[in-house]
């Protein structure tokens, strides 16, 4: 009997549709695996009863012949998504006890398609972080460890619980969210595929907001095909979200035809940053070769404002979050710390409820929007954002997709960067530009570092060009043949 937790989403789907396995079986297998992997701290809430009910219902649907791609597939849901009646706190203390009376559009889309909820996954509080060390519920341990080491590494962030869960085979797939790289970078650190679609592709309704002009929903999966299947279920126009785009969702899986002959792949010179580890540069070169062998044309391009992307992001995102997080005030939901006055209650509640990184970003955001500084910081950053977006528009006159490394390193050790916020921010150097431009990006596992830790390569696509992007990613994945799995050190 195949270990059901070793299946990919498409394999499980096929088996389920054929009747070889049931959703109840595969869900149960994953719940057992979750229980065994508690040490990793991937899940902050396991909804086993609910999962079994959903699995039973999915089996009925499959029997009646109405199954979709996601029907019966057990997945983890990032704690940032509002799930009705279930813990939804973006792993923050300030939303203590909050169980929404409504369901996010993206999660509802998945449940409507018959997916099964295993539980809510751990994350950096309010999606602010690159290592999942900013969670109220404690850090997540990456199932990957450096060769011969017993030190725990970070799974990346903010979707750390989601990435670690799939890498440890305790969920077939998970949802993540990506604002500056929070799906792609964890995917790279854990040897997975992580897709951030074009801004507006997925609805943000019911997604607890961090930075409204950047947040996007996306899947973390074992393969590109899996990502295509899951993305199709998650995506779609939502009239409840004014920034949602009314474009039909295509059959993404059908776009995987393996043919990229004549495709122009852009290589941006500015992504060759100072101090870039040699092995990452080599992997990038290797990636070029793989695509060239498959018939693509390699084109040198320039994205001149690349180096300003991170500082731009660290003005825009905090500014938006300082406003988005103002509603966490102890009045309507979550934590309340009593005070002598209303203001006192606000101050004490928010001081006690928010973690350090969240507070830092709220303060920065408040500052850059404040009188006298708005023009020099926020307005300036929004103008540079236009320049960054224009860089891509110009580049896409010469190429179809862009190839870059995903992260400037492999997974680092827990605790290594936690006291240096700036060092932490630098993790997103390759992922942030696409976020600022609203473009889709995908990380594909491409190789191992010298220490045996996963390294990913990123492909950036054109707006609403996910079909082409996924197709190239599929080819790259095939060429890379990343068939490694972490050695199991947890459980027992």
Partner 1 sequence: MTKLYPGVTGDWEAVIGLEIHAQVISEAKLFSGSATTFGAEPNTQVSFVCSAQPGMLPVINEECVRQAVRTGLAMGCEINLRSIFDRKNYFYADLPQGYQISQFKDPIVGEGEIAIELSDGSTKIIGVERLHLEQDAGKSMHDQHPTMTYVDLNRSGVALMEIVSKPDMSTPEEAAEYFKKIRSLVRYAGTCDGNMDQGSMRADVNVSVRRPGEELGTRTETKNVNSIRYVMQVVESEIRRQIDLIEDGGTVDQETRLFEVATGTTRTMRSKEEAHDYRYFPDPDLLPLEFSQEFVDELAAEMPELADAKKERFIADLHITPYNASVLVAEKENADYFETLLAVTVDKTGKPVSELGKLVSNWITSDLFGALKKLGKTISENPVSVENAAELLNLQVEGTISGRIAKEVFENMLESGNSPETIVDEKGLKQVSDTGAIEAMIDEILSVNADKVEEYRGGKDKLYGFFVGQVMKQTGGKANPQVVNQLLKPKLDG
Partner 2 sequence: MSVDKETVAKIANLARIEVSEDELESTVGELNNILDWVEQLSEVDTDGVEAMTSVVDASLPRREDKVTDGGYRDQVLKNAPQSEHGFFAVPKVIE
Residue 368 CA to residue 48 CA, distance in Å, equals: 44
SS3 sequence of the chain: CCCHHHCCHHHHHHHHHHCCCCHHHHHHHHHHHHHHCHHHCCEEEECHHHHHHHHHHHHHHHHCCCCCCCCCCEEEEECCECECCECCCCCCHHHCCCCCCCCCHHHHHHHHCCCEEEEEECCCHHHCCCCCCCCCCCCCCCCCCCCCCCCCECCCCCCHHHHHHHHCCCCCEEEEEECCCCCHHHHHHHCCEEEECCCCCCCCCCECCCCCCCCEEEEEECCHHHHHHHHHHHCCCCCCCCCCCCCCCCCCHHHCCCCCCCCEEEEEHHHCCCCCCHHHHHHHHHHHHHHHHCCCEEEEECCCCHHHHHHHHHHHHHHHHHHHHHHCCCCCCCCCCCCCCHHHHHHHHHHHHCCHHHHHHHHHHHHHHCCCCCHHHHHHHHHHHHHHHHHHHHHCCCCCEEEEECCCCCCCECCCCCCCHHHHHHHHCCCHHHHHHCCCEEEEEEEECCCCCEEEEEEECCCCCHHHHHHHHHHHHHHHCCCCCCCCCCCC
Residue 331 is a binding residue for partner 1 (CB under 8 A) = yes
Residue 104 is a binding residue for partner 1 (CB under 8 A) = yes
Residue 72 CA to residue 74 CA, distance in Å, equals: 6
Residue 319 is a binding residue for partner 1 (CB under 8 A) = yes
What's the closest the beta carbon of residue 487 comes to partner 2, in angstroms?
Answer: 38
Residue 32 is a binding residue for partner 1 (CB under 8 A) = no
Residue 365 CA to residue 374 CA, distance in Å, equals: 10
Q: How far is Cα of residue 216 from the mean position of the Cα atoms in its chain?
A: 9
Residue 363 is a binding residue for partner 1 (CB under 8 A) = no
What's the closest the beta carbon of residue 398 comes to partner 2, in angstroms?
Answer: 21
What's the closest the beta carbon of residue 345 comes to partner 2, in angstroms?
Answer: 5
What's the closest the beta carbon of residue 88 comes to partner 1, in angstroms?
Answer: 7
Window of 27-35, 96-104, 263-271, 442-450 that interacts with partner 1 by CB under 8 A? 96-104
Q: Does the bond joining 158 to the residue before it have cis omega, within 30 degrees of 0?
A: yes
- Among partner 1, partner 2, none, residue 88 binds (CB under 5-8 Å by kind): partner 1
- Among partner 1, partner 2, none, residue 371 binds (CB under 5-8 Å by kind): partner 1
- Among partner 1, partner 2, none, residue 99 binds (CB under 5-8 Å by kind): partner 2
Residue 86 is a binding residue for partner 1 (CB under 8 A) = no
- Among partner 1, partner 2, none, residue 208 binds (CB under 5-8 Å by kind): partner 1
Is 29 or 91 the residue whose CB approaches partner 1 more closely? 91
Token digits of residue 289: 């070769």
Count Cβ neighbours within 10 Å for each residue of 316-340 and write b for 16 or more, e otherwise.
Answer: bbbbbbbbbbeebbbeebbbbbeee
Binds partner 1 (CB under 8 A): choice among 2, 251, 370, 481: 370
Is 292 or 327 the residue whose CB approaches partner 2 more closely? 327
What's the closest the beta carbon of residue 77 comes to partner 1, in angstroms?
Answer: 13
What's the closest the beta carbon of residue 332 comes to partner 1, in angstroms?
Answer: 6
- Among partner 2, partner 1, none, residue 82 binds (CB under 5-8 Å by kind): partner 1
In degrees and rounded to multiples of 5, residue 44 shows phi and psi of -100, -10
Binds partner 1 (CB under 8 A): choice among 20, 254, 269, 326: 326
Note whether 427 and 130 are within 8 A (CB).
Answer: yes
| Catalytically active residues, by annotation | 78, 158, 182
Residue 490 is a binding residue for partner 1 (CB under 8 A) = no
Residue 115 is a binding residue for partner 1 (CB under 8 A) = no
Window of 87-95, 249-257, 419-427, 475-483 that interacts with partner 1 by CB under 8 A? 87-95
Window of 136-144, 224-232, 314-322, 444-452 that interacts with partner 1 by CB under 8 A? 314-322
What's the closest the beta carbon of residue 156 comes to partner 1, in angstroms?
Answer: 23
Note whether 131 and 158 are within 8 A (CB).
Answer: no
Binds partner 1 (CB under 8 A): choice among 12, 34, 75, 211: 211
What's the closest the beta carbon of residue 235 comes to partner 1, in angstroms?
Answer: 17
Is 109 or 443 the residue whose CB approaches partner 1 more closely? 109
The contact mask relative to partner 1 for 233-272 (x = CB under 8 A, - = no) is ------xxxxx-----------------------------
Residue 354 is a binding residue for partner 1 (CB under 8 A) = no
Site residues, partner 2 (CB under 8 A)? 97-101, 199-200, 213, 239, 242-243, 245-246, 305, 308, 311-312, 314-315, 322, 326, 329-336, 338-348, 350-351, 354, 359-360, 362-364, 366-367, 370, 373, 376-377, 379-387, 389, 421-422, 437-438
Is 61 or 366 the residue whose CB approaches partner 1 more closely? 366
Q: Which residues bind partner 1 (CB under 8 A)?
A: 81-82, 88, 90, 95, 98, 100-102, 104, 204-209, 211-213, 239-243, 319-320, 322-323, 325-327, 329, 331-333, 342-343, 346, 366, 369-371, 374, 378
């Amino acid at each position: 009997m195949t270990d059901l937790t070793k299946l990919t989403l498409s394999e499980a789907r096929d088996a389920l549709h054929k009747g070889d396995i049931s959703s109840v079986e595969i869900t149960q297998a994953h719940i057992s695996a979750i229980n065994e992997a508690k040490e990793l701290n991937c899940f902050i809430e396991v909804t086993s009863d609910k999962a079994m009910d959903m699995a039973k219902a999915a089996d009925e649907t499959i029997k009646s012949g109405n199954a979709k791609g996601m029907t019966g597939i057990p997945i983890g849901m990032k704690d940032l998504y509002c799930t009705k009646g279930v813990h939804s706190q973006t792993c923050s203390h300030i939303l203590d006890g909050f169980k929404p009376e409504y369901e996010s559009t993206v999660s509802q889309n998945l449940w409507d398609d018959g997916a099964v909820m295993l539980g809510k996954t751990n994350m950096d509080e309010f999606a602010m972080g690159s290592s999942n060390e900013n969670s109220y519920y404690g850090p997540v341990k990456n199932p990957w460890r450096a060769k011969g080491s017993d030190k725990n590494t970070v799974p990346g962030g903010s979707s750390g619980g989601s990435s670690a869960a799939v890498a440890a085979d305790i969920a077939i797939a998970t949802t993540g969210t990506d604002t500056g790289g929070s799906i792609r970078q964890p995917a790279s650190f854990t040897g997975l595929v992580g897709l951030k679609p074009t801004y507006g592709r997925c609805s943000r309704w019911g997604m607890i907001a961090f930075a409204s002009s950047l947040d996007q929903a996306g899947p973390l999966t074992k393969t590109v095909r899996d990502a295509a299947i899951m993305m199709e279920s998650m995506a779609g126009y939502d009239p409840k979200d004014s920034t949602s785009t009314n474009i039909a969702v295509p059959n993404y899986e059908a776009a995987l035809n393996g043919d990229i002959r004549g495709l122009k792949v852009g290589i941006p010179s500015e992504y060759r940053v100072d101090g870039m580890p040699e092995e990452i540069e080599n992997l990038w070169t290797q990636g070029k070769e793989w695509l060239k062998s498959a018939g693509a044309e390699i084109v040198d391009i320039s994205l001149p404002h690349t180096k300003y992307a991170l500082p731009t992001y660290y003005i825009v995102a905090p500014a938006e979050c300082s406003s988005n997080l103002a509603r966490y005030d102890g009045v309507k939901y979550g934590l309340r710390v009593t005070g002598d006055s209303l203001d006192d209650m606000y101050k004490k509640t928010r001081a006690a409820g928010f973690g350090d990184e969240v507070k830092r970003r709220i303060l920065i955001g408040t500052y850059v929007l404040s009188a006298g500084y708005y023009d020099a910081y926020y307005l300036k950053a929004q103008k540079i954002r236009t320049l960054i977006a224009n860089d891509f528009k110009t580049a896409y006159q010469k190429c179809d997709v862009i190839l870059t490394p995903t992260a400037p390193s492999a997974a680092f050790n827990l605790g290594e960067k936690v006291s240096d916020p700036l060092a932490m921010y630098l993790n997103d150097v390759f992922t942030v530009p696409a976020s600022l431009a609203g473009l889709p990006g995908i990380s594909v596992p491409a190789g191992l570092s010298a220490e045996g830790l996963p390294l990913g390569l990123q492909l950036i696509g054109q707006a609403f060009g996910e079909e082409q992007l996924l197709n190239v990613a599929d080819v790259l994945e095939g060429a890379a043949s990343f068939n490694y799995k972490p050695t199991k050190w947890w459980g027992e």
